[in-house]
Structures are given as C-alpha cells and as structure tokens.
Amino acid sequence: MRWLKLLLAILLLPACVALTLTGWRVAGELAGRLDSPVALAFWTGYGLWFAVFLLLPRPTRTYVLGHELTHALWALLMGARVSGLRVGKGGGQVKTSKTNWLIVLAPYFFPFYAMLFIAGFFLVRLCWPLDRYLWVLFFLVGLGWSFHVTFTLTTLLEVDQPDVRSQGWLFSMVVIYSMNLLVMALTAAALSDRVTFGELAWLAGQDLRAAYGWTLDKLAWLWHHAAAVRKGNP
C-alpha cells in the first residue's frame, strides 16, 4: 500500500503545479478588490495573527483542540464513530472506528477555526441581517487562516508527525499542499463575487490540462531520447 501511495504522489505532482497556477490566477482575479473593506479586513486579521504568533506565547492547546476536532469531524463525515477525545499542551488524541488518509491528514489542510467562523456567521445570518458586518467575517477568516498556516507549517517543520509518517512523506506533502490550495480556492469562490465555482472549475481544468500535457510531452521526449541512446544514435 505504501508504494501505491508513493506512485500516486508522483502522478499528482503535475496537479500540484496546476493548482498553484489556478491559485495564482484566482488571486489575480481578486487583486482588483484589495482596497475594499472586506479585503482589508481579511489581511488585517491575517497579519494580526501572524504578529501574535511571532511575538506572544503560542496557544498550543487551542491548536491541538482544533487539530483533534478536525480528525473527529472528517471521521464523522466518512461514517466513522468517534470517541475518547483527549487534548493537552503536549498533544492530543481522538479514537475513531475507522481511518483513511483524508481523516489522518485533514488537520493539515482544513482550517478548522476559519471554517468555524464562516459557519457561525452564516448560521447567525439566518436570524439577523449581517450584511453590514461582512468585514467582521473576513477579519475572522483571515485570523483563522493565518492561525492554520502558521501552526501547520511549524508543526510539519519542527515536529515528527505520526500522521505524516503513517501515510508516507511524499504522499502526505502532495496531499497537504494540493488540498490547501483547493480549499483556499473553493473558499474564495464561495465568499467572493468575482470568482464563481464555474470559473474556478474552468481555470483548474485549463491548468490541469496544461500541466499534464507538458509532463507527457517531456516524458515522450525522454523516452525517444533514451531509445536513441540505446541504439547508439543520440
């Protein structure tokens, strides 16, 4: 099973490039509104948390709680039973009746607190009109996303993670990187009026076709070059 995940990770490398291009293009679409109140609120929240992370004691227990709750949430989404949630400053644990790579790696690509803020805002919006306070949502999403990015990078770089080890390093990194980009792009499409899901799918399709087309062209060139070398005619 380990070698299958390694093979899949290699096959998904062009998809990582494609999603990077798609993310860049989505960012370009949104750049026209960088001076809008919601964009300023997002980047204020993002920068504020980044400063807090660098300058103040880190709320590790809060991160661990979000990490374990993300395992639990994705396990429930996969139809598993969840029990035995334990959270401490040194780490946490949650027991699930079954597991898979999505459940294991979800905390590294799913920004739990940012999504919690989004869900909470729209639930409250069902009862009270909050359109005037949309900037508050974007501020909280920026804060939550920065929380996710800073703690995820620190955790992956500084701590030997059993989650990553269990799935294989390359497979885990490919999944974490590509899924982070995908979640960011989908969230941008959901919250922005400048990028729709249809446009996002079209951009991603273009970039995937270009990335895999380029890869196949280079592999074909290498194959023919290697065949020519074997025949003594490079």
* In a shared domain, residues 172 and 124: yes
What is the C-alpha to C-alpha distance for residues 176 and 217, in angstroms, rounded to an integer? 27
**Is residue 233 left, alpha or beta, with left meaning phi > 0 and alpha meaning psi from -120 to 50?**
beta
Please provide residue 91's backbone torsions phi and psi, each rounded to the nearest 5 degrees: 155, 180
Helix (H) or strand (E) holding 142: helix 134-158
* In a shared domain, residues 226 and 161: no
Q: How far is CA 197 from the centre of its chain?
A: 17
145-174 pLDDT per residue, tens = 999 999 999 999 987 888 999 999 999 999
Burial class (CB in 10 A: 0-12, 13-18, 19+), 22: buried
14-25 pLDDT per residue, tens = 999 999 999 998
* In a shared domain, residues 38 and 106: yes
In a domain, 94, yes or no: yes
* In a shared domain, residues 188 and 232: no
Report the first-to-last Cα separation within the chain, whole angstroms: 38
In a domain, 171, yes or no: yes
Q: Which residue range(s) make up the domain with 229?
A: 196-234
In a domain, 12, yes or no: no
3-state SS class at 87:
strand
Q: What is the average per-residue pLDDT within 112-129?
A: 95
* In a shared domain, residues 91 and 107: yes
* In a shared domain, residues 104 and 93: yes
Q: Which two tokens stand for residue 103?
A: 């459940």
In a domain, 8, yes or no: no
What is the C-alpha to C-alpha distance for residues 182 and 180, in angstroms, rounded to an integer? 5
In a domain, 11, yes or no: no
What is the C-alpha to C-alpha distance for residues 32 and 178, in angstroms, rounded to an integer? 25
Report the domain count for the chain: 2
* In a shared domain, residues 203 and 122: no
Angle at 23 between CA 220 and CA 108, to 5 degrees: 95
State residue 96's pLDDT score: 94
* Residue 213 neighbours by CB under 8 Å, 6+ apart: none
Neighbours of 122 (CB within 10 A): 11
In a domain, 151, yes or no: yes
State residue 35's pLDDT score: 67
32-82 pLDDT per residue, tens = 566 688 889 999 999 999 999 999 999 999 999 999 999 999 999 999 999
* In a shared domain, residues 119 and 165: yes
In a domain, 126, yes or no: yes
What is the C-alpha to C-alpha distance for residues 174 and 90, in angstroms, rounded to an integer? 27
